[in-house]
Amino acid sequence: MSTTTLPGLAAARAPRQTRALPPWQWLPYRRYASAVVLLLLWQAASSSGLVSDHTLASPVQIAITFWGLLASGELPWHLLVSLGRVSAGLAIGLTVGTTLALIAGLSRLGEDIVDAPVQMLRTLPFLALVPLFILWFGIGEAPKIALVALGTGFPIYLNLFAGIRGVEPRLAEMGRVFGLSRTGLIRQVVLPGALPSALVGLRYSLAVAWLSLVVAEQVNAQSGIGFLINDARDFLRTDVILVGLALYAALGLAADSIVRLLERRLLAWRPNTLAGMRS
């Protein structure tokens, strides 16, 4: 019996050549290395006196201030107030924006009625509306929630409207062939097809919600992260200001991560989503 080895079998038995990775790629969390280096340089500049504490507090001082505010209970209280405002405004904005997008996206008549006023309101700056909101709603919580609702309604409207109108016409035609009614087409074809755009709009709305809250909490606020920053500004406490800004950034990042997780779950049927989940 011949013992000749086939070329393919020999190649399969041969040890695989592995490409050597650069040394830094073996480090865990290497993507955060540059941020750590920047923090170290910042701390070194503060410790050496190159950067004054009145101009920019050091990372160590910011960490100490954060722990002090957390331990005293002051920071959790202001954080809960801000979360309540942004949650109420976001719920209103998403509800109104989604409703208007469905009206305009599913009907030509609805588009003629809704789209032009929404596009005009979208171009108005927030700061220009603050005096008007104070006249309408007073100086309590209502104008703050209204500003957040106004800011969050436009991104979900624009993206959901574009997603509805961007659904492939052949899918709708296929649905009609299978006997779907208009309601069935909307539920089984149009809305699932527009879901990716709606989730993009949700991510934008969450980002705008925190930006709107920064403006809203300048309006006679007695609590909240914005109030904490304004109060620290009067006393030149850059450490407290940076703690507040870091909180805004962390909350925005956390909200975006939640939407990304939701996107993976709801859009698992898309081939590119599945590929991203396997990688």
Q: Is residue 95 part of a domain?
A: yes
Q: Is residue 99 part of a domain?
A: yes
Q: Is residue 52 part of a domain?
A: no
Structure tokens at 46: 């503060």
pLDDT (0 to 100) of residue 80:
92
Asked if 105 contacts 194 with a C-beta cutoff of 8 angstroms, the reply is: yes
pLDDT (0 to 100) of residue 95:
94
The phi-psi region of residue 28 (left if phi > 0; otherwise alpha if psi is between -120 and 50; otherwise beta) is: beta
Instruction: Give the total number of structural domains in the chain.
Output: 1
Question: How does pLDDT run across 137-174, given as a tens digit for each residue?
Answer: 887 888 889 889 988 999 999 999 888 888 777 776 67
Asked if 147 contacts 89 with a C-beta cutoff of 8 angstroms, the reply is: yes
pLDDT (0 to 100) of residue 23:
54
pLDDT (0 to 100) of residue 156:
92
pLDDT (0 to 100) of residue 20:
55
pLDDT (0 to 100) of residue 92:
94
- State how far the Cα of 66 lies from the Cα of 259, in Å rounded to an integer: 27
Question: Which CATH number goes with the domain that contains 131?
Answer: 1.10.3720.10
pLDDT (0 to 100) of residue 207:
86
**Stated pTM of the model:** 0.74
Q: Is residue 179 part of a domain?
A: yes
Nearest to 106 by CA among 154, 150, 155, 167: 167
Distances in Å between the Cα of 3 and the Cα atoms of 6, 8, 99, 127 are 9, 14, 75, 85
Q: Is residue 187 part of a domain?
A: yes
Question: How does pLDDT run across 177-214, given as a tens digit for each residue?
Answer: 666 676 777 777 777 778 888 888 898 898 888 888 88
Residue type, 111: E
Q: Is residue 112 part of a domain?
A: yes
Q: Is residue 275 part of a domain?
A: no
pLDDT (0 to 100) of residue 22:
57
Give the phi and the psi of residue 2 in degrees, each rounded to 5: -75, 140
pLDDT (0 to 100) of residue 88:
93
Q: Is residue 85 part of a domain?
A: yes
Please name the residue that has the structure tokens 């790629």.
25
Q: Which domain holds residue 70?
A: 59-265
Asked if 277 contacts 206 with a C-beta cutoff of 8 angstroms, the reply is: no
Nearest to 168 by CA among 194, 139, 131: 194
- State how far the Cα of 268 lies from the Cα of 112, in Å rounded to an integer: 35
pLDDT in tens, the chain (279 residues): 444 444 444 444 545 555 555 555 555 556 667 778 888 888 888 888 787 777 788 888 888 888 988 888 888 998 999 899 999 999 999 999 999 999 988 888 888 889 888 888 888 887 778 888 888 888 788 888 988 998 899 999 999 988 888 877 777 667 676 666 767 777 777 777 788 888 888 988 988 888 888 888 877 778 888 888 888 887 878 888 888 888 888 888 888 888 888 878 877 766 654 444 444
